[in-house]
Structure 1
């Protein structure tokens, strides 16, 4: 599928999926969505959906699923660094907690770099369930991987900005279902406009009863609607830096499932790098929880 077609349909279906929850649980609250809140939601949709998802899909196109998911680990690191830079959070670097947080950040970044730069021996643990499509190691492939890496880095950074922006949106308009529905709707319209400009072929927008439709339904209901609603709920309860700290679990599941189903290689480098990322991030989580208890 054309990437912007997929993103448009997934986002619009996600909005339709959330709408009944908004009508039932937040009846009539859409009337409180003034121009100020609308402006923030428009920015929220662009920073939180249209831009990062486009970059992520293009990065995924140039790499593999198990490689792309590693970059989700940069999101919690960026959500840690950005509040410090903008003085939204104080970093007590000379304290034990502050030192552990910095160590966790550096360890996680090192693990991500290790996965990117070092492959090592491939571990053929099982035969894939679906047909494997091996990639030849060519100069073009290396160039595409570099381009994909740049796209994935951009996606992770904009996603991190979205978590901080989401907390602002919920202060301006504190209704998670309507704000999530509006974000999905506006994000779908944004990607539709970009998609129409880049691809004028009407056939690209036609849907059939095939795997493309399954992908859209899954992406719309769970990866878009479910993700935005749950993230909004957790941001209200625990703050913007809490939800992305669970991204490392995506790495474990994706590398394992990609190997089982489509035959992506599990390498020594990916195992070592993933271990470093997990240790670093959960060191940070432990330090963060201790910091909250001490306060």
Structure 2
């Protein structure tokens, strides 16, 4: 390989690495901004309504440019699956996550996002979409990784340990880093578990949605619009006061625009590009970085105390997730080498990392 070839390879690698790091930075900023405004009392369903309207506006030009020729009339069944897609993956999953984030901490909540591939794996086995594969070395490593992730989640939930602070105590918006009571932590944990189950169900539903509606940009656009309508309808049933739905020129508006433009639209484009270039297992390997970034940022910027239980649980989840992804990648390679048919191969693809039309939260 010549000098130009090595330079092109390095440039391609650096672009991909930069794109995936950007995704994690976007997610980190989203977690911290959301924690601050939710602590200030922002109405969650108003936030979701406005966020996905902004996301739809950002994705609309991409749908018109790349999928203009696919604008055929959609069947009623397609609208039904799009409605279920929005209800499961955004309205329910994101709503529960925001309530869990409000009642706990950003670091604690992010731990549960890394549990989504594992919960998806368990549901896939229950519904016989995926095989456990304990007969192979890769299957054993994959299963051990899943068990380690669950152990990490239990550690962060049940074991507190010694508390310590990072930094000198001068923090931005210290009011957001409130002390979480045990009752709120328990309620928030149940909300986060429910969010994980909804997200996992949503990834499994993607298989059906992509069959009936393969246009990824249009599917994301319509899903965002439907989710915005669903959030508005539920929100109006809970709180119709003007104060709950008012948005001023403040941090709430910044969070809404940030979430719609970067955490949804830009993240979707970067993930789609990554999956097309490097396959489905490349992007998820960077997800634990969000947990590290959020933990450090929350401690340094918001002044949130770190606990030994969260640190130990975080390490277990990161190691378990990487073990799970490595085992899955090895399993996929062995399937390719055995020249199995496309039907068998499709059954073995983990729905948690096969396609990500929207980055969770």
Q: Under a length normalisation based on structure 2, what TM-score does the superposition of the two structures give?
A: 0.75
Gaps of 5+ in 1: none
Residues 167, 235 of structure 1: 8 Å contact kept: no
Answer with 44-53 or 111-120: which moved more.
111-120
CA distance in 2, matches of 1:282, 1:122: 27
**1:113 matches 2:175:** no
Once the two structures are superposed, the pairs formed by residues 180-195 of structure 1 within 5 Å of their partners are 180-195=220-235
SS at match of 1:247: helix
CA spacing shift, 1:47–1:236, aligned 2, 3 Å: farther
Shift of 1:245: 5.7
After superposition, give the CA deviation of every residue in 1:129-173 in whole Å (9 maximum; x if it has no partner): 314246457xxx211110110000000110111111123212211
Answer with 200-209 or 241-250: which moved more.
241-250
CA distance in 1, matches of 2:238, 2:45: 9
Match of 1:196 in 2: 236
Residues 165, 304 of structure 2: 8 Å contact kept: no
**1:161 matches 2:201:** yes
Matching residue within 104, 124, 134 for 2:165: 124
Residues 100, 109 of structure 2: 8 Å contact kept: yes
CA distance in 1, matches of 2:269, 2:83: 17
Shift of 1:21: 0.8
CA spacing shift, 1:229–1:76, aligned 2, 3 Å: same
CA distance in 1, matches of 2:227, 2:273: 19
Shift of 1:61: 1.1
- Name the count of aligned residue pairs: 291
CA spacing shift, 1:166–1:37, aligned 2, 3 Å: same
Matching residue within 122, 126, 145 for 1:104: 145
Gaps of 5+ in 2: 1-41, 336-361
Match of 2:245 in 1: 205
Shift of 1:124: 2.4
Shift of 1:248: 2.3
Shift of 1:31: 2.4
Provide the alpha-carbon RMSD of the alignment: 2.1
Match of 1:37 in 2: 78
CA spacing shift, 1:70–1:201, aligned 2, 3 Å: same
Residues 165, 299 of structure 2: 8 Å contact kept: no
Match of 1:215 in 2: 255
Match of 1:22 in 2: 63
Match of 2:92 in 1: 51
CA distance in 2, matches of 1:30, 1:218: 29
CA distance in 2, matches of 1:242, 1:163: 17
